[in-house]
Chain A
Amino acid sequence: MSAAHAVPLLETRALSMRFGGVVAVDNVSLTVAEGELRCLIGPNGAGKSTFFKCLTGQLRPSSGRILWRGRDITGADSFAIARLGIGIKTQVPSLFDGLSVLESVVLAVRRLHSEATSRARAVAALARLEIEHLAGRQVGLLAHGQRQLVELAMVVAPEPGLIILDEPTAGMSAEETRRAAELIRELNRRHTIIVVEHDMQFIRSIASAVTVFHQGRVLMEDRVERVLADPRVRDVYLGKSAERAKIPA
Chain B
Amino acid sequence: MRAAPPGIERRQYLLEIGGAIALAAAAAIGLPRALELFAVINATVFVSLAVLALSLALIWGFGGILCFGQAAFFGLGGYAYAVAALNLSDTTYAVPIALLVPTAAAAALGYVMFFGRISDVYMGVITLTVTLILFNFSNSTAGDEWRIGAAPLGGFNGIPSTPPLNVPGQPGAALPPEAIFRIAVACLALCYILAKLVLRSSFGRVVIAIKENELRAELLGYDARLYKLGIFSLGGFMAGIAGLLFASCVFVSPTMFSLSYSAQIIIWVMVGGLGTLAGPIIGCILLQMLTTWAGTLRDISPSVILGVILMLVVLALPKGLLPTAFAIAGRLRRGDRR
Residue numbers of A with Cβ under 8 A of B are 56-58, 77-80, 82-83, 87-88, 90, 94-104, 107-108, 110-111, 115, 136-138, 154, 158
User: A165 vs B5: C-alpha distance in the bound complex, in angstroms?
Assistant: 31
Q: Which residues of B contact A138 (CB under 8 A)?
A: 1-3
A115 touches B212 (CB 8 A): no
A96-B213, A99-B212, A107-B209 in contact; A79/B223 too (CB < 8 A)? yes
Q: Which residues of B contact A56 (CB under 8 A)?
A: 219
**For the complex, is B221 an interface residue (Cβ under 8 Å from A)?**
yes
B209 touches A99 (CB 8 A): yes
Q: Give chain B's interface residue range (CB within 8 Å of chain A).
A: 20 to 34
Q: Which residues of A contact B221 (CB under 8 A)?
A: 79, 82-83, 111, 158
**For the complex, is B202 an interface residue (Cβ under 8 Å from A)?**
yes
Q: Which residues of A contact B208 (CB under 8 A)?
A: 98-99
**For the complex, is B54 an interface residue (Cβ under 8 Å from A)?**
no
User: What are 11 A-B residue pairs whose CB atoms fall within 8 Å in the complex?
Assistant: A58-B215, A79-B218, A82-B220, A94-B216, A96-B213, A98-B212, A99-B1, A107-B205, A107-B220, A138-B1, A158-B220
- Tell which of A88, A96, A99, A104 has the most Cβ of chain B within 10 Å: A96
B2 touches A111 (CB 8 A): no
Residue numbers of B with Cβ under 8 A of A are 1-5, 202, 205-206, 208-209, 211-213, 215-224
Q: Which of B4, B213, B215, B222 contacts A111 (CB 8 A)?
A: B222
Q: Which residues of A contact B2 (CB under 8 A)?
A: 138
- Tell which of B202, B205, B221, B222 has the most Cβ of chain A within 10 Å: B221
Nearest chain-A residue to B206 (Cβ)? Answer: A107
Q: Which of B4, B213, B223, B224 contacts A95 (CB 8 A)?
A: B213
Q: Which residues of B contact A107 (CB under 8 A)?
A: 205-206, 209, 217, 220
B219 touches A97 (CB 8 A): no
Q: Which of A78, A88, A103 contacts B205 (CB 8 A)?
A: A103
A95-B213, A96-B209 in contact; A77/B3 too (CB < 8 A)? no
Q: Which residues of A contact B215 (CB under 8 A)?
A: 58, 78, 90, 94
B3 touches A100 (CB 8 A): yes
User: A166 vs B220: C-alpha distance in the bound complex, in angstroms?
Assistant: 16
A115 touches B218 (CB 8 A): no
A95 touches B216 (CB 8 A): yes
Q: Which of A88, A94, A103, A154 contacts B3 (CB 8 A)?
A: A103
A87 touches B202 (CB 8 A): no
A110 touches B202 (CB 8 A): yes
- Tell which of B213, B216, B223 has the most Cβ of chain A within 10 Å: B216
User: A78 vs B217: C-alpha distance in the bound complex, in angstroms?
Assistant: 9
A115 touches B223 (CB 8 A): no
Nearest chain-A residue to B202 (Cβ)? Answer: A110
User: A80 vs B226: C-alpha distance in the bound complex, in angstroms?
Assistant: 13
Nearest chain-A residue to B221 (Cβ)? Answer: A82
Given contacts A96-B213, A110-B202, A111-B220, 17 further A-B contacts (CB under 8 A): A56-B219, A58-B215, A77-B218, A79-B222, A94-B215, A94-B216, A95-B212, A96-B216, A98-B1, A99-B3, A103-B3, A103-B205, A110-B206, A111-B222, A115-B202, A137-B3, A138-B1
Chain A nearest CB from B327 CB (Å) reads 15
User: A98 vs B205: C-alpha distance in the bound complex, in angstroms?
Assistant: 11
Q: Which residues of B contact A83 (CB under 8 A)?
A: 221
Nearest chain-B residue to A100 (Cβ)? Answer: B3
A108 touches B220 (CB 8 A): yes
A-B interface, 4 closest residue pairs, ranked by CB to CB distance from nearest: A100-B3, A82-B221, A78-B218, A96-B212
